[in-house]
Structure 1
Amino acid sequence: MKITTETQFKTAAIALLIACTFTLSAPSIGQQVVVQPYLQNAGPNSIHVFWETDSENESLVEYGTSDKLGMRSVGHTTQVAYENSKLHQVSLGGLRSNTRYFYRVKTGGFTSPIYQFTTPPDPKTDPLVPFRLVVFSDSQIDAGLPDKLEETVNNGILNYFNTGPDTPLNNEVAMILVTGDLVARGKIYEQWPQHFFRPTAPLFNHVPVYPVTGNHEDNSDYFFNYFRLPQNGNAAYDGHWWYTDYANVRVIGLDSNTPYRIKDQIDWLTEVLEKTSSDPHIDFVFLQIHHPFKTEFWLVGELEYTKQVIELLEKFTEVSGKPSAHLFGHTHAYSRGQSRDYRHLWVNVASASGRIDYWGEYAQRNYAEFSVSQPEYGFVVIEVDPNRNNPSFTLKRISRGNEYTPKDNELSDQVTVWRYGIRPDQPSTKGVLGNGVDGQLILKASGFASKRSGAVHYASHWQIAATPDFHEILHESWKQAEDYFYNVNQQACDNLTDELILRVPPVSERYFRVRYRDQHLEWSDWSEPEKF
């Protein structure tokens, strides 16, 4: 996101202080661990282990299915920044799918503690059980609250899952997604080990991380050196776009920064989605991208390129019947919305630590797509149930509040989407109130009903046309049960079964109809048209 002049000054000052501390604290004898072990790019039979030291080339991982370990794998080093920077990379292959492993790393005189990870299941051979993804964004340092990311990790994510010696994070979480702006200044080397990897180490020791780059990374080589992302994008743009699978979910990562808003990326995404449509093992697609098409908090941050991405996801969902979501950041606040005509979610997962964008600070707008917008810190948990009879996922917002209203892992929003939906009952029109002489009238319809237990009336879509076939739409409106904007539900008094029309279309014949949607993004059939 943006940085104010004051924040730039503070961030630069902190970076200089850390750089000096980092240089002065390096021991003259023996190596220092700069970045603790972290996991990348896991498959059913493989995973990659990374760590960084300031010297020594030895790159050894000892691992096994118990804490006795027993197996060894040797990797190699690359240089991240300075001559004494050694990034160790070890690939572990021949692993068993859906299996817990223990591991530790060794370089010279350094031996890490023993950590754990769990390999993903093979959807072709393994029974699939429920799993979770954690998603956060905009973890760059805020000079005013420099420890916020550490708080989000420890008091937020780790406490939420009640992790401890007997319940490591890999027992609870399958993968972690970060939708960009990992650091404040991507080309300042010290920010990577100090601002990002140090506070997140308790997560990535146990669970693989899959980030996409944001504008604050500044297309830095450090991002692409530190992260080994799936190599299934365009070869000429390695690491900028990619996808990976876990059980019945496909996760796609895109690069929405200026040099990469190109046709090559859109063409690649089109091809991947076409293949995913017919893949019998994939039920849901979650795509992460940094820049939003629309944001209620910061209109300057909107990006037209993302609209193309959303349209491709909507088309994919329409053709395949598989629900999808795009997860983003850039604006430092949480928002959750949905496409009107498709089972597609729009979710701003920020902010992990970047300074909050509060109401009234910037040019802002209330968009029809968004149901909930909240200026807060926090993270998102996606719980996936791969039950073959009817898979589903539940997206939960876990709120840490903000500077004025702190919260402690409060569930502030959630939505469940099913692979195979049950449509609400078809509503019926119930006439109109008023004759339109003063330009106003109220359309009336029946109450909501559904055969799905627990379904509620969440949205109504009204249309007025000049003919009963509705080929020529004169007016339409789409209202949600929730529209939290400026901390108030703007729809609190609307029961969604009537609609005030302020300006009646001046034609001789008019027809209206309505359809209802539940909270799971399922639409009913349209009502029969009524002439008025």
Structure 2
Amino acid sequence: MKRSDFLRLSALGSLGLATRSFALPEGYTGIPAGIRPYLQTPRPDSMWVSWFSDNAPSGQIEWGTSPANLNNTVNAALDVLGTGYHYHAGRITGLSPASYYYYRVRNGSTVSDVFRFRTPVPAGTKTGRMRVLVMGDNQIIGENRYEKLIACAKAKIESTYGVPIEEVIDFILMPGDQVDVGTLDHYRNLHFKQCGLISPNIPIMTTVGNHETYYDTNLDLYSRIFRYDDISYANTPGTEGEKYYAYQLANIAFIHTSSEHTTTAQKQWVRSLVDALKTDASTDLCVSVVHRPYQAEQYVGDISGWFRSEIMPMLAETEKHVLNIGAHHHLYARGQTREWPIYHIISGGTAWDQYWGQSSESDFDDVQKTIAHWAWQLMDFDLSARTMEVTCYAEANVKLSAETRWNYNSRIIDSFHRKLGLEAPNKPALENTFSGPVTLPLELISSAYQSGSGEAINSTWFQIAADSGFTNLKIDRIRDVENLYGDTGAPLYEPVNIHANVDILRLAVSSGIYNGTHYARVRHRDTNAMWSAWSDAIAFTVEGSTSGPTALKLAKTVYAPNEDFLATYENGTGLPKDWIGIYKKGQKPGSGAGTVTSTTWQYVDAANLVNGTRNFTYNLPVGEWYAAFFTNDGYTEIAPRVPFYVGNAAVISTAKEAYDEGETVSIQFSNAPAGATDWIGIYQIGQTPGGPLSTQYKYAPTASGSLDFTGLPKGYYFASFFVNDGYQEISQRIVFSVGTQITSVSMESNQITAGSDFTVSFNKGPGIPKDWIGIFKQGDVPGVDVLTAYLYFAGATSGSVTFHLPDLPPGDYFAAMFTNDSYTEVSNRFLFTIVGQSELKFEQATMEGNEMRFRWKSQSGRSYKIQKSTTLATDSWMDIRTVTASGASHEELVPIDRLANPNCFFRVVEN
């Protein structure tokens, strides 16, 4: 994430003004000088120690059980990562569990201070406590925000417990984006350096984020710097290097997944871990980590759908899994999964600015709090009680001024817990009684919350369905007693509890249900994330509403052979002989000439005539079909038909996601039905098949094969597999691009007056939610040099964004589009200049013979240049005089040769 407040800081820096004016913990003077080693991969019997040097040829680790007795030496391996980047790493072995050790590192005569660390307790230990510090998204190298967050956390922890931090914290967990780009500069001077206050004493465990993959696509540097091959859980190491890994400390399993490598291999690896957890008596709790989060209320949709839909359901098979930690969004958020007693949080650290009103936003019922503060979390496990307590401490808010933003002083903004073994809340009841039909609005009333566990109420879940099995839901609403969403705005930007005046035991219903019979139920959730059983359902009939559109729905468009399929009907006529029929594509329902009877059919549910479901178990032959809804035992259709396909879903793929212009795009396919008129079509991103014609298509009449597409114009595309010369898609779409700088960006003018808003227009974008327009100084390298400003635009393929940058100093800049939250440039660069306001504020410019009199608004003592040009091009201006202003208005008489300078433009700029 990137935002314009950072511009102001870099602008101040360029003027030589102080940028380190925020408050810091009392007595903090910065990270001490000298080598600051980095601990990683803690085990009861070993610890990895690593550090960088400029060009030292070798290194040693000297260690022992007291600072005065460092009588053991480990030779550190040298890995020359690049010129000026010598990486030293060694593993201290033969250690005892739960013990303190002292060490220092040496490069010849250059020696670090002496530091202390503590080894973990033995695996399977079920007594005592474990405390883990959670901090995500370091990312910004141009400031020391992350260093300050670490300093605040260290000061708070040490003042709370009264001992050095290594006596409190077992290790630090970082959920990704430890760098902005995966370069040596960022690993050494961002991650290692800004963690240097605590990295010599507490081991750090990282996670792969999207920014680790930028400039380091295959994670070559990541795998050389971080040493996770010495640990695993259940003897099941990650199968793709160190992209994902797991380990056990005490009786807790920690699983670091990669949202950037959503492979079948990783999913199978998680499957093996979950199966082991279920039967492993040495583990009682499990925490998972993924960079892109499970859910997010800002930048809606920018989550890991893979983790949400494929990984979390597996982890939920065991009650040991109590928490998922994500990052990616640069704030704090906490929620509970809808179905399971599992918490999920976003620990977004201090990376690129993120705040309310900046993006697409939505209040989700599985997120209880979204707080746009810079924060860190402390996880405290009671190993014998099998409990987890998590407290979140806020330190700053980016919307506050740089001088005041670090003023929260470790304010507690959230706390929650999970305690295994407690009973769930009591089963509630709905207290409504219906003696006859009701009209909207109506209010459902739950009985009071009751529980024998001592836990308070946290949530209620109301459901209203059109059927007694609650498969055709009309209202599906979870509400929490506290729901922090949005903020108060200026000047304080405090979180807002939008449920402050909501009685969650009552649900008002004014829309969403139609005439007919409905069923309602409720359940309660406690502050231990446990749900009660559902209440008994009550039935009621609505009248005086609308009938609503009659509709027929299927859950999918492609069904495997022999797979059952559920048909949902809504707002039928209420006649007992309304029915659903299944026909082959092209067949005409009826009983006369040219018509056919259905292949299979069912009447509507006798107990749910208007709204309900019917399950079809008929084994339909492979092919295209449709479901139709008829009334009163006849052939009058009362809802739009629903097409679907029976057969195996085809699989298509390309060798890569980006092709050069003119390069052949080869699409492989398999598992296809081998129809003579089956085809693969290529469309531009944003198009809908069946509307505009495909850009190209080819028939795919075999079960598997490869098709080559040539001559595709520059653009962003998707391909899909269609059957029978129609538009029934039976594959997942794949996306790819052809050419470079596909997107065009432009501005109305290449000169902008300082302080003025300006708009950047774009066309033919990739259509990815995290595409963004960035502003850089001309000559800067994106991802290496400081980003000046940026704006997202919700993944639109065309449109515009308007920048409001009142502090942007005069100078030469460029605007370009970058894709998917990366520094991958996908457009031309539009060059423009910010010109000082004084340029356009002539008070007088008149010819007097062969001289011109200039008079402009000025500041006394300031230096100005008078320039001329024959065009308005940015690089065409020439200096003709430099002067120092003598007052609020300055006057200068300059000789001008009219004949030698016809049609010249003149301006005055601040020097």
AA matched with 1:526: W
d(CA) in 2 for partners of 1:529, 1:226: 58
d(CA) in 1 for partners of 2:472, 2:292: 35
d(CA) in 1 for partners of 2:296, 2:538: 36
Partner of 2:283: 282
Partner of 2:537: 529
d(CA) in 1 for partners of 2:5, 2:451: 54
Deviations 1:364-386 (Å, cap 9, x if unpaired)? 11111100001111111111111
Distance 1:164 1:295, change over 3 A: closer
AA matched with 1:111: V
d(CA) in 1 for partners of 2:506, 2:441: 13
1:191 to 174, 186, 192: 186
- SS of the equivalent of 1:503 reads coil
Partner of 2:39: 39
AA matched with 1:366: D
Distance 1:357 1:5, change over 3 A: closer
Distance 1:422 1:266, change over 3 A: same
- Matched pairs, number: 499
Partner of 2:331: 333
8 Å contact 1:329–1:350 — kept in the other structure? yes
AA matched with 1:179: P
d(CA) in 2 for partners of 1:433, 1:134: 53
- SS of the equivalent of 2:148 reads helix
**Cα offset for 1:235?**
6.6
8 Å contact 2:238–2:266 — kept in the other structure? no
8 Å contact 1:34–1:53 — kept in the other structure? no
8 Å contact 1:60–1:72 — kept in the other structure? no
**Cα offset for 1:244?**
1.5
8 Å contact 2:208–2:244 — kept in the other structure? no
d(CA) in 2 for partners of 1:37, 1:435: 75
> 1:445-484 maps to which residues of 2 (within 5 A)?
445-453=446-454, 455-466=455-466, 468=468, 470=470, 473-484=473-484
Partner of 2:240: 237
d(CA) in 2 for partners of 1:289, 1:307: 10
d(CA) in 2 for partners of 1:80, 1:307: 39
1:171 to 164, 167, 173: 167
Partner of 1:150: 147
8 Å contact 2:245–2:255 — kept in the other structure? yes
Q: Do structure 1's residue 226 and structure 2's residue 221 form an aligned pair?
A: no
d(CA) in 2 for partners of 1:236, 1:130: 31
8 Å contact 2:459–2:479 — kept in the other structure? yes
Partner of 2:312: 313
Partner of 1:512: 520
AA matched with 1:68: A
**Cα offset for 1:118?**
0.9
Instruction: Please provide the CA RMSD for this pair.
Output: 2.9
d(CA) in 2 for partners of 1:434, 1:302: 46
**Cα offset for 1:471?**
5.6
8 Å contact 2:335–2:367 — kept in the other structure? yes
TM-score, length-scaled by structure 2: 0.52
Partner of 1:302: 303
- SS of the equivalent of 1:79 reads strand
- SS of the equivalent of 2:345 reads strand
8 Å contact 1:35–1:198 — kept in the other structure? no
**Cα offset for 1:362?**
1.2
AA matched with 2:373: E
> 1:337-348 maps to which residues of 2 (within 5 A)?
337-348=335-346
Partner of 1:207: 202
Percentage of identical aligned residues = 21
Distance 1:361 1:471, change over 3 A: closer
- SS of the equivalent of 2:95 reads coil
AA matched with 1:377: W
**Cα offset for 1:265?**
1.3
Q: Do structure 1's residue 497 and structure 2's residue 505 form an aligned pair?
A: yes
8 Å contact 1:385–1:393 — kept in the other structure? yes
AA matched with 1:109: S
**Cα offset for 1:504?**
6.5
Distance 1:496 1:127, change over 3 A: closer
Distance 1:164 1:92, change over 3 A: farther
AA matched with 2:250: A
- SS of the equivalent of 2:411 reads strand
8 Å contact 1:34–1:54 — kept in the other structure? no
**Cα offset for 1:177?**
1.0
d(CA) in 1 for partners of 2:148, 2:335: 27
Partner of 1:408: 409
Distance 1:436 1:395, change over 3 A: farther
> 1:395-434 maps to which residues of 2 (within 5 A)?
395-403=390-398, 404=400, 406-431=407-432
Distance 1:292 1:392, change over 3 A: same
d(CA) in 2 for partners of 1:164, 1:448: 36
Partner of 2:134: 135
AA matched with 2:129: P
8 Å contact 1:230–1:244 — kept in the other structure? no
Distance 1:119 1:294, change over 3 A: same
- SS of the equivalent of 2:97 reads coil
**Cα offset for 1:521?**
0.2
> 1:17-32 maps to which residues of 2 (within 5 A)?
none
Q: Decide which structure has the larger Cα Rg and report it.
A: 2
d(CA) in 1 for partners of 2:91, 2:123: 22
- SS of the equivalent of 1:194 reads helix
AA matched with 2:179: V
Partner of 2:357: 360
8 Å contact 1:168–1:206 — kept in the other structure? no
User: What 5-or-longer segments of structure 1 have no aligned partner?
Assistant: 15-32
User: What 5-or-longer segments of structure 2 have no aligned partner?
Assistant: 15-32, 488-495, 541-911
8 Å contact 1:436–1:504 — kept in the other structure? no
- SS of the equivalent of 1:299 reads coil
AA matched with 1:463: Q
Distance 1:340 1:127, change over 3 A: closer
AA matched with 2:225: Y
Q: Do structure 1's residue 374 and structure 2's residue 371 form an aligned pair?
A: yes
- SS of the equivalent of 1:250 reads strand
**Cα offset for 1:190?**
2.2
TM-score, length-scaled by structure 1: 0.86
- SS of the equivalent of 2:362 reads coil
8 Å contact 1:424–1:524 — kept in the other structure? yes
d(CA) in 2 for partners of 1:418, 1:77: 44
- SS of the equivalent of 1:325 reads strand
Deviations 1:184-235 (Å, cap 9, x if unpaired)? 2322x22222222222112111111011122222235333222112454767
**Cα offset for 1:10?**
6.2
- SS of the equivalent of 2:202 reads coil
Higher helix share: 1
Partner of 1:17: none
d(CA) in 1 for partners of 2:478, 2:228: 40
Partner of 1:246: 249
**Cα offset for 1:34?**
8.0
d(CA) in 1 for partners of 2:469, 2:239: 50
d(CA) in 2 for partners of 1:475, 1:295: 22
**Cα offset for 1:512?**
2.0
